[in-house]
Amino acid sequence: MIRDLGDIDIHRPRRYAEQGYPWQEWDLLRREAPVFWYERDDIEPFWAVTRYEDIMTVSGHPDVFINGGPRLRLALKDETELLRGGLDEFGRSRGWDPEEPPDLTFMDDPRHRHVRKASSWAFTQGCMRGLAAHFDELAVGFAEEFMDELQAATARGESVDFVHAFAAKLPLAAVGEIMGLPDGDWKKLLLWSEAIIGEVPPEQIRPGETLSEAAERNMNEFRTYLEGLVQAHRRPGGGPSAFINRLVEAEVQGRKMNDQQLIGYLFVLIGAGNDTTRNATAGGLAALLEHPAERDRLCADPALLGSTVDEVLRWTSPVISFLRTATREFELAGTHIAAGDTVCMFYPSGNRDEARFADPYRFDIARTPNDYLSFGYGAHFCLGTNLARAELAAMLKALIPLLPRIELAPGATRIANTHVSGYSKLPVRAAA
């Protein structure tokens, strides 16, 4: 039982890897100090915001709590914030502008609104309905490959990592599809997008290279690939991807985007939907297997698929936190926030807020209402919500007939990150 707010740890990446999400600490904060000035030696202080209503208030005031301030993601004092390293050799050699925000998440209105509009047309519910049958087809194919792998591994007395054998595949294949990338390129995207979070499989590290050098090389290969795509679509008559053609031609406040802006844009669209959706899928499988009554309920009534997708998103909450900077004084739930202060919203905590969700620690695949915060809220509300929901629906649908034949195996590991987390490995085997 945790008693002292001064001792709690909700900011260290290793904590998330070693012990999972700090549910007890967030419960305590919601109960006793919902807007809490969090001060620790190894991080710049911030207001920890843990209640549902207060997260909505912060997100609903983008003029007061801006994204374009000095901090957007938690980082320890000796770490560089993700995507915030400034210009490296890649950018310098191309004469990029060091003041340019890396992507739309770092922007505020009006620019943010215009930049977002340049791609939001591709992620509407209507577009996803058109792609659903294709996602189903891809998911069934990936599920078949996975089951073959599972049977073979189980026969050898081994387990299979569900994250890489299944969960990681559709999110990249689907975004590749929407962007009109060549078939099969998603395999390269998988490698590169893992490099963004500093993970490179040992066989991809070249002799004499350190892990961080291999990660940097992969990141640059990814950016070179995106640069090639942009250039191919700038040619007269455009390139093969209708999506990239439209992005290249889009006018943002009267001007077309330059290479730096377009590469950043494609980078976030590919990166943002990758580990988030994968973590929801792996966490969703774990939740269903750990709650066999809910698993059986879904198998008996596949019409519960839609509400299962929503409950999996609430339950797993793959995005842990985002920061904002206050531009002026603000009273948040009776606490005075000063201009310049940083606030940190903890979405998973909002998703377990007993003031909003009945029995929030119950995994209930038919939960209604279920207004979870996993995609954020307000101006920056996840652009890929419809896509993520469509992908999850396709993946869970393909898994339903297989669920009774899968069981969890020992050795699961979690991602050491305070922005996006979940299982890095989820070993499973064929059920006895």
Positions 378 through 417 that interact with ligand HEM (CB under 6 A) = 378, 380-384, 387-388
Query: What is the Cα–Cα distance from 23 to 29, expressed in whole angstroms?
Result: 10
Least distance from ligand HEM to the Cβ atom of residue 407, Å: 24
Least distance from ligand HEM to the Cβ atom of residue 266, Å: 10
Q: Which of 167, 165, 184, 177 is nearest to 135 (CA)?
A: 177
Does 105 bind ligand HEM (CB under 6 A)? Our answer is yes
Check: CB of residue 265 under 8 Å from CB of residue 107. Answer: no
Identity of the residue, 230 or 266, whose beta carbon is nearer to ligand HEM in the bound complex: 266
- Find the binder of ligand HEM among 29, 82, 280, 332 (CB under 6 A): 280
* Opening angle at CA 97, ends 172 and 222, nearest 5: 25
Least distance from ligand HEM to the Cβ atom of residue 104, Å: 5
Least distance from ligand HEM to the Cβ atom of residue 381, Å: 5
**CA atoms within 13 Å, Cβ hemisphere of 259:** 18
What are the two backbone dihedrals, phi and then psi, of residue 380, each rounded to the nearest 5 degrees?
-100, 10
Candidates 76-84, 158-166, 223-231, 314-322 — which segment interacts with ligand HEM by CB under 6 A? 314-322
Positions 39 through 78 that interact with ligand HEM (CB under 6 A) = 59
Identity of the residue, 314 or 429, whose beta carbon is nearer to ligand HEM in the bound complex: 314
Candidates 27-35, 208-216, 311-319, 402-410 — which segment interacts with ligand HEM by CB under 6 A? 311-319
Identity of the residue, 177 or 199, whose beta carbon is nearer to ligand HEM in the bound complex: 177
Identity of the residue, 277 or 421, whose beta carbon is nearer to ligand HEM in the bound complex: 277
Identity of the residue, 298 or 312, whose beta carbon is nearer to ligand HEM in the bound complex: 312
- Find the binder of ligand HEM among 128, 147, 269, 409 (CB under 6 A): 269
Does 374 bind ligand HEM (CB under 6 A)? Our answer is yes
Candidates 82-90, 212-220, 266-274, 362-370 — which segment interacts with ligand HEM by CB under 6 A? 266-274
Least distance from ligand HEM to the Cβ atom of residue 425, Å: 19
Identity of the residue, 200 or 319, whose beta carbon is nearer to ligand HEM in the bound complex: 319
Least distance from ligand HEM to the Cβ atom of residue 178, Å: 8
What are the two backbone dihedrals, phi and then psi, of residue 361, each rounded to the nearest 5 degrees?
-90, 10
Least distance from ligand HEM to the Cβ atom of residue 294, Å: 19
Does 376 bind ligand HEM (CB under 6 A)? Our answer is yes
The three-state DSSP-derived secondary structure of the chain is CCCCCCCCCCCCHHHHHHHCCCHHHHHHHHHHCCEEEEEECCEEEEEEECCHHHHHHHHCCCCCEECCCCCCCCCCCCCCCCCCCCCCHHHHHCCCCCCCCCCHHHCCCCHHHHHHHHHHHHHCHHHHHHHHHHHHHHHHHHHHHHHHHHHHHHHCCCCEEHHHHHHCHHHHHHHHHHHCCCCCCHHHHHHHHHHHCCCCCHHHCCCCCCHHHHHHHHHHHHHHHHHHHHHHHHCCCCCCCHHHHHHHHCEECCEECCHHHHHHHHHHHHHHCHHHHHHHHHHHHHHHHHCHHHHHHHHHCHHHHHHHHHHHHHHHCCECEEEEEECCCEEECCEEECCCCEEEEEHHHHCCCCCCCCCCCCCCCCCCCCCCCCCCCHHHCCCCHHHHHHHHHHHHHHHHHHHHHEEECCCCEECCCCCECCEEECEEEECC
Does 268 bind ligand HEM (CB under 6 A)? Our answer is yes
Identity of the residue, 218 or 274, whose beta carbon is nearer to ligand HEM in the bound complex: 274
Does 319 bind ligand HEM (CB under 6 A)? Our answer is yes
- Find the binder of ligand HEM among 193, 260, 276, 421 (CB under 6 A): 276
Positions 128 through 187 that interact with ligand HEM (CB under 6 A) = none
Least distance from ligand HEM to the Cβ atom of residue 3, Å: 31
- Find the binder of ligand HEM among 261, 277, 342, 349 (CB under 6 A): 277
Least distance from ligand HEM to the Cβ atom of residue 148, Å: 27
Q: How many residues interact with ligand HEM (rule CB under 6 A)?
A: 29
Positions 320 through 339 that interact with ligand HEM (CB under 6 A) = 322
| Bridge partners, 319 (sequence order) | 420
**Beta carbons within 8 Å of 174's beta carbon, 6+ residues apart:** 131, 135, 138, 273, 387, 390, 391
Does 348 bind ligand HEM (CB under 6 A)? Our answer is no
Which chain residues interact with ligand HEM by CB under 6 A?
59, 104-105, 116, 123, 268-269, 272-273, 276-277, 280, 313, 318-319, 322, 347, 374-378, 380-384, 387-388
